[in-house]
Amino acid sequence: MKRIYLAGPMTGLPEYNYPAFHAEAARLRALGYHVENPAENPEQDSWEAYMRQAIRQMLTCDIVAFLFGWAESRGALLERYIAQQVGLAVMPSAQIELQEVPCEA
C-alpha cells in the first residue's frame, strides 16, 4: 500500500486549513491509501517543532501530495524541496486516484 504525506498551507489560514487536510485525507483513505496527515499531529510549541515532526513523518512515505495553495506555504515549499532531494514522488493531491500513482519529479 502506498503511503501518502499531505502537504499544504496552514499558517495564517482559518483553522490552520485543517478542514481541507482532513477532507483530502478521508478521500485518499477511501481509495485505499495510507495517509500521513500533519493536521492530525499533536500540538507543538513552534513552527520549527511542527516542521521537524512533519519532515520525519513525510520521510516514511512514498508520495508527497500537495493541497491547493501549497506554493504560498513556507513549510510546503521546504517539504517539496526535501522530497525531491531524497527521491520521493511529488504531485498535486487532486490528481491521485485509485490507479497506480506515477512518480513525477
Burial of residue 76 (number of CB atoms within 10 Å: 0-12, 13-18, 19+)? buried
**Residue 30 in 3-state DSSP?**
helix
Q: What are phi and psi of 47, to 5 degrees?
A: -60, -40
pLDDT tens sequence across 19-47: 999 999 999 999 999 999 999 999 999 99
Q: What are phi and psi of 49, to 5 degrees?
A: -65, -40
Domain 3-95 in CATH 3.40.50.10400? The answer is yes
User: How far, in Å, CA of 54 to CA of 100, rounded?
Assistant: 25
pTM to 2 decimals?
0.91
What 8-state DSSP symbol labels residue 14? G
pLDDT bucket at 1, cuts 50 / 70 / 90: confident
